[in-house]
């Protein structure tokens, strides 16, 4: 056990090429130029880049780095990197120098043909470019491969189309910056220069023992269990949530924190989650672009450190049926460079016209584009959470809390808001406890999109997914609502009157999206349908939202995506879905044919031998015979279901790639997988544990 004292303040950011390092190491003029690029998007000349690259390299070498990599987020959902060493061509003396030029820093040219492009880049034009994103700091990562300088980059095709998540995210940040500034100017703000979305992503994950993980092909190949019966004890006692953290886990968390702090991730909160073996980690929020990169880094770190502790970190949305899945809460707000949070209601929100307009715009954006937000959280694993009796529901609605809902009600009904309810004091009945003032925004854990004090929390995102997409959508739809409002208000003769009317109009027109009740209830599903809110249950049903006329118009207006980019993204989503289900189906086939059926055959032989032996001894073998019959019947069911799954999976593979194929996987292969799982799970409840060919749920989640 390590009790070594760690000085967090000292190690925090020690492996980041951050502002302090840049100020220390770069000549004044170069530093100034770089800040201009970071803050105002000014072009960086090659001479400046050369100086930065040189200093970055010297700094990285001091940290032990031998290689550098452009670090990017292609549409595979995981980060990609290609490592180059700093070694230059040998000198006549036979020695080498360590070099790194401005050109190498700014631009990379990975062979892009193997990354998904959804038809955007014909394979004969395989060139893709990575371009340095100087707004997200470079860092040195230390792992078993030594130390590597990682440079966050965007990834584009030869013709400039985005092949990654970062490029559209940066574009969407520019859009919301521009439109939010317009809005602020209308309210007389002349001082704020920049508006940035801030994001804090809470990350849920499971930890299982590595040795047990290795015995489950489903976990190895798909990240989730494809078979498995619930143990006698599940999460019904709620005793894991916020429970004391076990020593093995605590030591893992300590290492994760240290690793994250070193690379500048502000790991802040950690606790046990609802399900056994489930945990959560949250950093302090940062600029959207940095938050997206750091969330990727966090996921990588969780996985790496888990291995070092003899465990495996499962980031899948639903590793175990019957216990809670994992998600990612995307906390989002918009802040100016001089520290104003546009989502801060203040003590008396009814008097805060600017806040009310911002709120009305967000309601409108979410109501109009609920389908896009839903899609932004779609991935194959999330199909098991959204709309499947689990948090959160697949229907997008907004939770405002009592105070704001009351203000909105006043505005809609009378056109005038005259007061704000306040939270009041919390009376514990114990005089020695401090008096606590209650939050005016009560918590509602079942809402997919909740206002929580001074931010919105989008809770649909899957635990394994990048948070880039949800933030691209959020930034762009809110930019659109701001732009529409500004178009009207900038022309108004009487601003006060116009803004008052507009707030009332937006709130009235979009009030159907507000829901403060229990989002898990069946009544809500019926109520949402009455309100006409979309209830999109699966990923394949969500994807068409990307390419509707509404979506194309939105994204082209703010230059976030072109039509071609949107079409390619829809294509990639369909392909990703088909591939994921195909792997799951084939893994099930493999496990059923090579592990389960052989085990059942052996087991029935043992039972049959027992029946014979018992009968021979002249004793009644009714119980043994019954068991044998039951197992044999379920075994036959397993074999029949396996044959069906083999057939439909082959059929699926032969379909035309894209929408048709993805839909077939959803409509035919997924049900066949469920049909195969059912008898095997029943057998797991009656077959001798010794005869079961792999660790059970109980072994996996209660014995970490
Ligand atoms: P809870 O689990 O109660 O929602 P946490 O503290 O676990 O709360 O997570 C809240 C997340 O929201 C943290 O990442 C936090 O930094 C982030 N956050 C707090 N304020 C803001 C804000 N104004 N904008 C964006 N994110 C925020
Ligand atoms: Mg939360």
What is the dihedral angle through the alpha carbons of 227, 229, 231, 232, rounded to the nearest 10 degrees? 170
Q: In testing the pocket of ligand 1, which one of 205, 283, 328, 331 has its CB within 8 Å of the most ligand atoms?
A: 331
Where residue 124 falls among pLDDT bands split at 50, 70, 90?
very low
Q: Residue 618: how many CB atoms within 10 A of its CB?
A: 6
CATH number of 654's domain:
1.20.120.1560
Q: Where is the domain boundary, 116, 133, 164?
A: 164
Of 262, 290, 294, 283, whose CA–CA distance to 12 is shortest?
262
Q: For residue 263, what is the domain's CATH number?
A: 3.30.590.10
d(CA 361, CA 251): 45
Q: Is 607 exposed, middle or buried (0-12, 13-18, 19+ CB in 10 A)?
A: buried
Please report which confidence band the pLDDT of residue 137 belongs to, taking 50, 70 and 90 as the band edges.
very high
Pairwise CA distance, residues 139 & 264, whole Å: 8
Whether 232 and 374 share a structural domain: yes
Q: What is the pLDDT of residue 123?
A: 46
Six token digits for residue 361 = 């715009």
**Which pair of tokens denotes residue 136?**
């997200």
For residue 71, the model assigns a pLDDT of: 93
Indicate whether 548 and 581 sit together in one domain. Answer: no
The SS3 call for residue 45 is: coil
Q: Do 454 and 409 fall into the same domain?
A: yes
Give distance in angstroms: CA of 433 to centre of ligand 1.
Answer: 26
Do 280 and 365 reside in the same domain of the chain?
yes
More confident position, 186 or 78: 186
Mean pLDDT within 469-476: 98
Span 259-283, pLDDT tens digits? 999 999 998 888 877 677 899 999 9
DSSP state letter for 595: I
- What is the rounded CA–CA span in Å between residue 329 and residue 296? 14
Residue 566 lies in a domain: no
Does the pTM of the predicted model rise above 0.75? yes
Residues in the chain: 704
Contact 208, 309 (CB under 8 A): no
484: part of which helix (H) or strand (E)? helix 468-489
Non-local CB neighbours of 429 within 8 Å, separated by 6+ positions: none
Residues whose CB falls within 8 Å of the CB of residue 354, separated by 6 or more in sequence, listed in order: 183, 184, 187, 342
> What is the DSSP track for 327-367?
BEEEEEEEEETTS-BTT---S-GGG-HHHHHHHHHHHHHHH
Residue 306 and residue 200 share a domain: yes
Partners of 267 in beta bridges: 283
Q: Looking at the structure, do residues 525 and 613 belong to the same domain, yes or no?
A: no
Q: Is 79 in the pocket of ligand 1 (CB under 6 A)?
A: no
- Calculate how far, in angstroms, residue 541's C-alpha sits from the geometric centre of ligand 2: 27
Q: What is the CATH number of the domain that holds 20?
A: 3.10.20.70
d(CA 381, CA 576): 11
Average model confidence (pLDDT) across the chain: 91
- State the pLDDT confidence band at 76, using cuts at 50, 70 and 90: confident
Do 184 and 103 sit in the same domain of this protein? no
Range of the domain at 598: 577-702
Q: Which of 195, 204, 285 to mutate to test the pocket of ligand 1 (most atoms within 8 A of CB)?
A: 285
Strands 456-458 and 449-451: antiparallel
% of the chain exceeding 70 in pLDDT: 92
Each residue of 353-371: pLDDT tens digit?
Answer: 999 999 999 999 999 999 9
Both 386 and 443 in a single domain?
A: yes
Task: Name the 3-class secondary structure at 115.
Answer: coil
The residue with tokens 């406890």 is 433
Q: Is residue 569 part of a domain?
A: no
Both tokens assigned to 384: 């098991």
Residue 87 lies in a domain: yes
> Is residue 679 a contact partner of residue 634, using CB atoms and an 8 Å limit?
yes
Q: From atom 16 of ligand 1, which residue's Cα is the shortest distance away?
A: 284
Point out the ligand nearest to the CA of residue 281.
Answer: 1
User: Is 4 within a domain?
Assistant: no
pLDDT classification of 599: cutoffs 50, 70, 90: very high
146, 164, 182 - which closes a domain: 164
Instruction: Inform me whether the pLDDT recorded for 128 exceeds 70.
Output: yes
Residue closest via CA to ligand 1's atom 19 equals 285
Among 176, 201, 202, 339, which residue has the most ligand 1 atoms within 8 Å of its CB, making it the best to mutate?
202
Q: How far apart are CA 125 and CA 119, in angstroms?
A: 11
In a domain, 568, yes or no: no
Task: Quote the ligand 2 centre to 202 CA distance (angstroms).
Answer: 6
- Is 488 in the same domain as 557? yes
Lowest mean pLDDT among 128-132, 292-296, 577-581, 693-697: 128-132
Pairwise CA distance, residues 437 & 426, whole Å: 6
Q: Where are the beta strands (DSSP E) in 210-352?
A: 267-272, 278-283, 286-287, 311-314, 328-336
Render pLDDT for 189-237 as a digit per residue (tens, 0 to 9). 999 999 999 999 999 999 999 999 999 999 999 999 999 998 765 555 5
Rounded to the nearest 5 percent, the helix, strand and coil shares of the chain are 50, 15, 35
Residue 335 pLDDT > 90: yes
- Is 2 part of a structural domain of the chain? no
Decide if 328 contacts 437 (C-beta within 8 A).
no
Do residues 497 and 588 both lie within one domain?
no
- Model pLDDT, residue 27: 95
Domain assignment present for 572: no
Instruction: Tell whether 392 and 533 lie within a shared domain.
Output: yes
Task: Answer yes or no: is the C-beta of 198 below 6 A from any ligand 1 atom.
Answer: yes
Contact 209, 311 (CB under 8 A): yes
pLDDT at residue number 539:
97
Cβ–ligand 1 contact at 479 (below 6 Å):
no
271 lines ligand 1 (CB under 6 A): no
User: Are 315 and 397 part of one and the same domain?
Assistant: yes
Is residue 518 scored above 90 in pLDDT? no
Spatial separation of the C-alpha atoms in residues 187 and 102, rounded to whole Å: 43
Lowest mean pLDDT among 67-76, 122-131, 166-175, 464-473: 122-131
Q: Are 672 and 648 in contact (CB under 8 A)?
A: yes
CB 300 near ligand 1, within 6 Å? no
Task: Quote the crossing angle between the two packed helices 622-653 and 563-591, to the nearest 10°.
Answer: 150
Q: Is the pLDDT of residue 442 over 70?
A: no
Q: Which residues pair with residue 670 across a beta bridge?
A: none
Tokens of 245: 């953290």
Q: What is the pLDDT of residues 402-437, one digit of tens each?
A: 889 999 999 999 888 898 887 655 565 666 666 655
Q: How many domains does the chain have?
A: 3
**From the CA of 269, how far away is ligand 2's center (Å)?**
11
Q: Match 């190498």 to its residue by tokens.
A: 104
Tell me, in angstroms, the distance from the centre of ligand 1 to residue 689's CA.
44
Instruction: Give one DSSP letter per residue of 638-694, joined into a string.
Output: HHHHHHHHHHHHHHHHTSPTTHHHHHHIIIIIHHHHHHHHHHHHHHHHHS-GGG-SS
Q: What is 389-438 written as a DSSP string?
A: TBSS-SB--EE-HHHHHHHHHHHHHHS---------EE--S-TTSPPEEP
Q: Of 561, 585, 613, at which residue does a domain stop?
A: 561
């Amino acid at each position: 056990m390590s009790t070594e004292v760690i000085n967090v303040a000292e190690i925090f950011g020690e492996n980041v090429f951050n502002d302090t390092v840049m100020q220390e190491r770069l000549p004044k003029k170069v530093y100034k130029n770089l800040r201009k690029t970071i803050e105002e998007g000014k072009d960086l000349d090659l001479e400046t880049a050369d100086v930065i690259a040189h200093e970055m390299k010297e700094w990285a070498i001091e940290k032990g780095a031998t290689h550098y990599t452009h670090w990017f987020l292609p549409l595979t959902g995981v980060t990609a990197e290609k490592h180059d060493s700093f070694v230059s061509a040998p000198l006549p003396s036979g020695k080498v120098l360590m070099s790194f030029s401005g050109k190498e820093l700014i631009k990379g040219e990975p062979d892009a043909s193997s990354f998904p492009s959804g038809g955007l880049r014909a394979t004969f034009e395989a060139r893709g470019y990575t371009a340095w994103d100087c707004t997200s700091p470079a860092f040195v990562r230390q792992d078993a491969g030594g130390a590597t300088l990682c440079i966050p980059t965007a990834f584009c095709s030869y013709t400039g189309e985005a092949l990654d998540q970062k490029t559209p995210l940066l574009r969407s940040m520019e859009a919301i910056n521009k439109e939010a500034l317009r809005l602020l100017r209308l309210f007389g703000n002349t001082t704020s220069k920049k508006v940035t979305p801030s994001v804090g992503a809470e990350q849920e994950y499971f930890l299982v023992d590595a040795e047990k993980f290795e015995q489950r092909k489903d976990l190895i190949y798909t990240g989730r269990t494809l078979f498995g019966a619930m143990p006698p004890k599940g999460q019904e006692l709620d005793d894991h949530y916020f429970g004391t953290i076990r020593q093995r886990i605590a030591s893992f968390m300590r290492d994760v924190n240290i690793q994250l702090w070193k690379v500048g991730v502000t790991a802040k909160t950690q606790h046990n989650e609802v399900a056994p073996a489930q945990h959560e980690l949250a950093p302090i929020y940062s600029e959207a672009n940095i938050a997206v990169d750091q969330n990727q880094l966090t996921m990588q770190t969780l996985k790496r450190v888990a291995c070092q502790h003899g465990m495996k970190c499962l980031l899948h949305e639903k590793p175990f049926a019957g216990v809670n899945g994992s998600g990612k809460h995307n906390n989002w707000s918009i802040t100016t460079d001089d520290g104003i949070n546009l989502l801060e209601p203040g003590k008396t929100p009814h008097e805060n016209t600017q806040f009310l307009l911002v709120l009305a715009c967000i309601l409108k954006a979410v109501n109009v584009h609920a389908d896009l937000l839903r899609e932004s959280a779609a991935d194959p694993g999330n199909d098991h959470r959204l709309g499947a009796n689990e948090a959160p529901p697949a229907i997008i609605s907004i939770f405002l809390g009592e105070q704001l809902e009351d203000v909105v009600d006043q505005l809609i009904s009378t056109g005038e808001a005259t007061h704000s309810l306040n939270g009041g004091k919390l009376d514990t009945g114990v005089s020695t406890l401090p008096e606590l003032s209650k939050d005016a925004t009560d918590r509602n854990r079942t809402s997919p999109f909740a206002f929580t004090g001074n931010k919105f929390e989008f809770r649909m995102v899957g635990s394994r997914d990048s948070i880039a997409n949800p933030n691209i959508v959020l930034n762009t739809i809110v930019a659109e609502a701001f732009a529409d409002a500004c178009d009207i208000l900038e022309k108004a003769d009487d601003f006060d009157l116009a803004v008052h009317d507009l707030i009332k109009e937006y709130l009235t027109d979009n009030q159907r999206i507000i829901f403060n009740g229990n989002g898990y209830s069946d009544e809500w599903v019926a109520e949402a349908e009455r309100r006409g809110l979309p209830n999109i249950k699966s990923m394949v049903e969500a994807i068409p939202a990307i390419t509707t006329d509404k979506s194309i118009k939105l994204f082209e207006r703010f230059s976030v995506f072109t039509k071609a980019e949107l079409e390619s993204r829809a294509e990639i989503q369909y392909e990703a879905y088909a591939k994921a289900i195909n792997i799951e189906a084939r893994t099930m086939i493999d496990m059923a044919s090579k592990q389960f059926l052989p085990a059942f055959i052996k087991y029935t032989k043992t039972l049959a031998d027992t029946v014979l032996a018992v009968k021979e001894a002249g004793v009644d073998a009714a119980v043994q015979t019954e068991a044998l019959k039951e197992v044999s019947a379920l075994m036959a069911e397993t074999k029949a279901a396996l044959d069906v799954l083999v057939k439909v999976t082959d059929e699926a593979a032969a379909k035309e790639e894209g929408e048709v194929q993805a839909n077939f996987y959803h409509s035919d292969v997924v049900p066949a997988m469920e049909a195969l799982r059912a008898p095997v799970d029943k057998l797991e409840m009656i077959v001798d544990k010794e005869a079961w060919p792999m660790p059970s749920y109980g072994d996996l989640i209660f014995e970490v």
